[in-house]
Amino acid sequence: MKYVFAAMLALAATLYAIALVTLDKPPSGDILELRWATDANPARIKQTSLFGDMFPGLEVAVDPGLGGDQTKLIVQCATGTGPDIIDVYDQEAMSSLVSAGILMDLTPYAEEGGFGVDNTYPALRDALMIEGKQYRFPCNVWANCMVYNKAVFDDRGVPYPTDDWTWTEFLEVCRQLRDSPSASGGDHFAFANWNKINWFGELYVNKGGRYFSEDGLTCLLDSPEALWAIQFYHDAIYEHEVVPSAAQLASLSSQGGWGSGWLSIFSNGKVAMLIIGRWYLCQVEYFPDMKGNLGACLLPHVEGREPTGLCDTRAAGINAMGANKEEALHFLEYLASPEYSELIVQDGDSMPPNPGLAQSGEMLVNDAEPDPAFHQPFVEAMENAQPADLSPFMDALVMRRWLGEAIDRVEEQVEPPDVAFKALTAEINRTIRTNLERQPYLQEVYEERTGRPYTEDWWREHQGS
């Protein structure tokens, strides 16, 4: 099964291209085609077809060529060749595209079109807006849960995890899975750390941390909450020895047979648990042994704190430089419709944008997972989730990259957790100062946020000298 996900993605793209070629199309004379920059998921066939049915005279064509390449997207839009509709996969990308002038301000049109921030989950409000203006509307929504393979728990004789568990109890469950003999004689890992930034983020937010001060001028990744989260991350690998390291993954991948990443290894039945969104159900048809063996529960929580975690969305925005902005707004109306949300429910591609179709596990059952108990934790996770906070003074994608590099240094034992994160925080704070010095429009944002005139030594009070 090595390289299985790469092969599946290539197959999906090929099948999608074939489908587009073979589908009967109406005469093009009276049809306006909108370009939608998104991925080549085969589910897009049904989604684009339904849009055409609901909005006669319009059709949308998937443009998967950008592949998340922000630089290429910005160049295309600036030269008038960009797509009409742009999928933005996280807050960090939205922040960067707004700064580049690519995304259209949707605020004047959202309420009348039914795609305002009040038409989706309350927790996502801030993830769709910057400085009080809306720039995107969800295509799908995620909040992570702990998804587990019942077969591995049964094979090891370990009880399934429950919703009301702590991170300390998570370590104990991992120990039980590691130390209990396998009835089948199989080799298993307790936990797949397949997205290290997400795992750190879930720990940090649940501890009560935030990435920046309220005014966005000071990075807080050297706070006690952040240092607790990265220390827990480190200790789970090296002190408790219940979470495999990146080096162990590299060793497994070089041996072949289990796939090239933790997501593949989990899907091949070799891992008990991973943190992921409901979108994992899109993978089940490729791994039939997983069907009927999946369970889900809320993420563990810090002792003394309520369960809470991160949420975000793959959400569509409109190219501010495009020629078909008015027509493209109809696509956002479509995303807000119950008909579109029902497609997302059936595909299992995370949570639907319309929360009215996701009020219980029973409402989310589909062919991939007919058990309402699997879906219910994702409903509850959205109720308790929050998006990561961002700063207008720091490029969010750069910060995410630097955060990942700091976690890598900790995981590879290049630096102790506190040293790595204090250095990361200092670098981000220096960058905020530099950005303010060089970009006058950010100085205006500073004055709006603080109510004080900008001065070159502002940081001595905010960030310390």
Q: Say yes or no to pLDDT of 1 above 70.
A: no
**C-alpha to C-alpha distance for 428 and 284, rounded to whole angstroms:** 40
Q: How confident is the model at residue 229 (pLDDT cuts 50, 70, 90)?
A: very high
Average model confidence (pLDDT) for the chain? 89
Q: How confident is the model at residue 464 (pLDDT cuts 50, 70, 90)?
A: low
What local confidence, expressed as pLDDT, does residue 10 receive? 41
Q: How confident is the model at residue 403 (pLDDT cuts 50, 70, 90)?
A: very high
More confident residue, 70 or 418: 418
Packing angle of the helix pair 43-54, 325-335 (nearest 10 deg): 110
What local confidence, expressed as pLDDT, does residue 252 receive? 66
> Span 97-114, mean pLDDT?
94
- In one-letter notation, the amino acid at residue 401 is R
User: Percent of the chain having pLDDT more than 90?
Assistant: 73
What local confidence, expressed as pLDDT, does residue 67 receive? 59
> Span 124-148, mean pLDDT?
94
Q: Determine contact, residues 280/147, Cβ cutoff 8 Å.
A: yes
- Name the least confident of 58-72, 181-195, 208-222, 249-263: 249-263
Q: Say yes or no to pLDDT of 35 above 60.
A: yes
What local confidence, expressed as pLDDT, does residue 6 receive? 37
- In one-letter notation, the amino acid at residue 443 is Q
What local confidence, expressed as pLDDT, does residue 23 receive? 39
User: Percent of the chain having pLDDT more than 70?
Assistant: 90
The string of pLDDT tens digits covering residues 439-451 is 999 999 999 999 9
Q: How confident is the model at residue 373 (pLDDT cuts 50, 70, 90)?
A: very high
The string of pLDDT tens digits covering residues 153-205 is 999 999 999 999 999 999 999 999 999 999 999 999 999 999 999 999 999 99
Q: How confident is the model at residue 52 (pLDDT cuts 50, 70, 90)?
A: very high
Mind listing the domains of the chain with CATH numbers? Answer: 4-142+312-362+373-386 (3.40.190.10)
> Span 322-339, mean pLDDT?
96
The string of pLDDT tens digits covering residues 391-400 is 999 998 899 9
Q: Say yes or no to pLDDT of 413 above 60.
A: yes
The string of pLDDT tens digits covering residues 238-273 is 999 999 988 887 776 544 443 458 888 999 999 999
What local confidence, expressed as pLDDT, does residue 427 receive? 98
